[in-house]
Structure 1
Amino acid sequence: MRTARRTSAVLLATALTLSACGTSEPSEPEGAGDGEFPVTVTDARGEVTLDAEPSRIVSLSPTTTEMLFEIGAGDQVVAADEHSNYPEEAPDTDLSGFNPSVEAVVENDPDLVVVARNAEDAADQLEAVDIPVLVLSSGETLEDTYAQMRLLGEATGHADEADEAADRVETEFDDIVAETQEQTGDVGLSVYHEVDDAMHSASSATFIGQVYERFGLRNIADQAEDGGGYPQLSSEFIVDADPDLIFLSYDTDGAVEGLAERSAFDTVTAVREDHVAMLDPDVSSRWGPRVVELAEDVSEALVAVEGS
């Protein structure tokens, strides 16, 4: 069983201690939960045992940061990565979640660090100096959202609040889907999701693809030859697929208008009938509690198509 109780790696510990010299002692935040510890949870690598409730959490994933605040652990978050821009109260730092500086993380005196799976090397180094770490994989399904919220609740002393938050998010999402289908029926519209202007898309194997699937949409990216979660499609492929609805999830001025300027795109049903919708890049790429907002945006676009 892998636990957060580790023997320090002497050389690394010494280096990190020296790098932190001269810094003032961070103050303790208020508002921790009331869970029972020690507690053992299972992250992306195995079991992690936390001996005490964490009071100084560093979150190196924007999705995790949103989850922590949603479940009532926001007051325990003392630092977050540079892309953690929501909620407004999230700590504003220049920490990298993609290539974390272990020394910079240690300077925040954390008693729990949460990282994404692609930062696993940093997790090993942090554990070597007795800092508990949770490693969370990217969500691929809505169930991953609810499960990770509950895991974080157990790890931070907010298990009950996390259960309530996960149940609320799930219920609200399902209600939006049900209400939308009542208005639109089972029409089986086709959808094209564009991640960037190089025409990378997202298939049903991705989190956003799973959201479209819940609404009964047929994803044209599922037919791409190279498969995978984010295939790069050609103009010819998209034109031939003739999607009924297009979602753009990148923040570029004139992106919607630019679609019609692509070769033969003026023949695509979604472009011709003005059924192209912009999605917030953050909301549409994170599998956190704002999936409810994402569902509302998808619902609005679907209802508009059926009402046109």
Structure 2
Amino acid sequence: MDNMFRRIAVLLFLFIVTIGLVGCNTQEENKEESSQDQNSSAEVEEQEDGSQEESKLETEYPLTVTDATGTEVTFDSEPTKLVSLIPSDTEILFALGAGDEVLAVDDNSNYPEETADLPKLGSTYSGLNEEELIALQPDVVFINTQLQPEVAAQLRAKDIKVFGSNPQSIEEIMEAITRTGTILNNQEEAKAVTDQMNEDLQYVKDKLANVEPKKVYAEYSAGWSFGSGEFANDLINLAGGENIFADQESWFEVNPEEVIKRNPEVILYTSGEEGAGQENKEQILSRDGWDVIDAVKNERVVGVNSTKASRVGPRITESLIEIFEAIHPKLAE
């Protein structure tokens, strides 16, 4: 009997020890699994951080790009000494956060406000101060190739690096902004600008879905208008309008009787950067015989910011919205 009890006691002891060892092993396994889970989480976080870093848009130099003249321009390193000789490119540089790197601009660059403190180098029409420009030793000079082809040739002959653009549509403006962002290694900023422009463009498109265009007469200079082939004509179309002189080409002097005959529903005139130009509106309203025009009778004579509308820069979609609201005020409510 005693032997039996002793055997039972030994078996119980071994059972308890076994259970304890299993428990210990289980705890160790749990610790190991927990540690592995933490390590896995840390690795995932590191991978996510790494992917974020990898996704950041960075320009690799040397960089060779082709400008609107077909000229290849090579940048050995990030350009930080910038000059703009066209207002639209000045606005692009500031919109991309490169304003502090702009050394000088042309006389007509007046936006944003910070341009007032920059040295002015003249203009294409009044003449450029090449001596002062050369003294600045810029890394690159931005121009418009359609308006300033001779400027590009003159500066390149003096070994000054020039990059020219000539966008003809909103899409091409956004491409120019993206390209400039790549040149300056400001790709993230360029993407933010073009994302907003795309959002503006989509807003107008959505508002105009299944909407009939209104007949528009646009007078961006007293007594002068434009036909097809002009960027301003494209803006009117995108904004839900139909230029009454779309059958004409380029800019031309308007026959007042022809405006009466074509009877626009909306008349647009330039109001300048500050929104002034009330005298322009009064002149239009007081023209002989124009009181029979629907736009005059219904008080649909509206001023638009001529600076925004005429510059192929980042504010062009703001101008599009402004023109859309002028043509379709009820849709904009």
Q: If the TM-score is normalised by the length of the shorter chain, which range does it land in? A: 0.7 to 0.9
Match of 2:157 in 1: 128
- In 2, the alpha carbon distance for the partners of 1:299 and 1:36 equals 40
1:144 corresponds to 2:166: no
Give the drift of 1:203: 2.5
Match of 1:303 in 2: 328
1:241 corresponds to 2:262: yes
- In 2, the alpha carbon distance for the partners of 1:93 and 1:222 equals 41
The one-letter amino acid of 1:238's match is V
Q: Within 5 A, what are the aligned runs for 1:218-237?
A: 218-224=242-248, 227=249, 229-237=250-258
The one-letter amino acid of 2:202's match is D
Give the drift of 1:113: 0.4
Greater Rg by CA = 2
Look up the SS of the partner of 2:164 in the other structure: strand
Q: Mind listing any 5+ residue stretches in structure 2 that lack a counterpart? A: 1-56
1:96 corresponds to 2:122: yes
Going from structure 1 to structure 2, the CA distance change for 1:188 and 1:253 (only over 3 Å counts) comes to: closer
Match of 1:24 in 2: none
Q: Which moved more, 1:265-274 or 1:296-305?
A: 296-305
Give the drift of 1:242: 0.6
Look up the SS of the partner of 2:224 in the other structure: coil
Give the drift of 1:80: 1.0
The one-letter amino acid of 1:126's match is L
1:37 counterpart (61, 66, 81) = 61
Q: CA RMSD in A?
A: 2.2
TM-score (norm 2): 0.74
The one-letter amino acid of 1:283's match is K
Going from structure 1 to structure 2, the CA distance change for 1:77 and 1:34 (only over 3 Å counts) comes to: farther
Q: Which moved more, 1:33-42 or 1:43-52?
A: 33-42
2:148 counterpart (101, 119, 129) = 119
What is the count of residue pairs matched by the alignment? Answer: 268
Do the aligned partners of 1:200 and 1:233 also contact (CA within 8 Å) in 2? yes
- Cα displacement string for residues 38-66 of structure 1 (whole angstroms, at most 9, x for unaligned residues): 11122111121122211110001110011
1:203 counterpart (227, 242, 246) = 227
Look up the SS of the partner of 1:278 in the other structure: strand
Match of 1:288 in 2: 313
Look up the SS of the partner of 1:85 in the other structure: coil
Q: Mind listing any 5+ residue stretches in structure 1 that lack a counterpart? A: 1-32
Counting aligned pairs with the same residue, the percent is 29
Do the aligned partners of 1:63 and 1:286 also contact (CA within 8 Å) in 2? yes
Going from structure 1 to structure 2, the CA distance change for 1:78 and 1:94 (only over 3 Å counts) comes to: closer
Do the aligned partners of 1:260 and 1:266 also contact (CA within 8 Å) in 2? yes
TM-score (norm 1): 0.80
- Cα displacement string for residues 134-158 of structure 1 (whole angstroms, at most 9, x for unaligned residues): 1222x32111211110121122121
1:167 corresponds to 2:195: yes
Q: Which moved more, 1:51-60 or 1:101-110?
A: 101-110
Do the aligned partners of 2:89 and 2:313 also contact (CA within 8 Å) in 1? yes
Look up the SS of the partner of 2:218 in the other structure: strand
Give the drift of 1:133: 0.4
Give the drift of 1:79: 0.9
Match of 2:78 in 1: 53
- In 2, the alpha carbon distance for the partners of 1:258 and 1:218 equals 23
The one-letter amino acid of 2:108's match is H
- Cα displacement string for residues 11-35 of structure 1 (whole angstroms, at most 9, x for unaligned residues): xxxxxxxxxxxxxxxxxxxxxx963
- In 2, the alpha carbon distance for the partners of 1:232 and 1:305 equals 32
Look up the SS of the partner of 1:247 in the other structure: strand
Give the drift of 1:282: 0.6
Going from structure 1 to structure 2, the CA distance change for 1:73 and 1:35 (only over 3 Å counts) comes to: farther
Match of 1:3 in 2: none
Would you tell me which structure has more helix in proportion to its own residues?
2
Look up the SS of the partner of 2:261 in the other structure: helix
- In 2, the alpha carbon distance for the partners of 1:140 and 1:269 equals 32
Look up the SS of the partner of 1:172 in the other structure: helix
- In 1, the alpha carbon distance for the partners of 2:240 and 2:221 equals 24
Do the aligned partners of 2:219 and 2:270 also contact (CA within 8 Å) in 1? yes
Q: Which moved more, 1:279-288 or 1:91-100?
A: 91-100
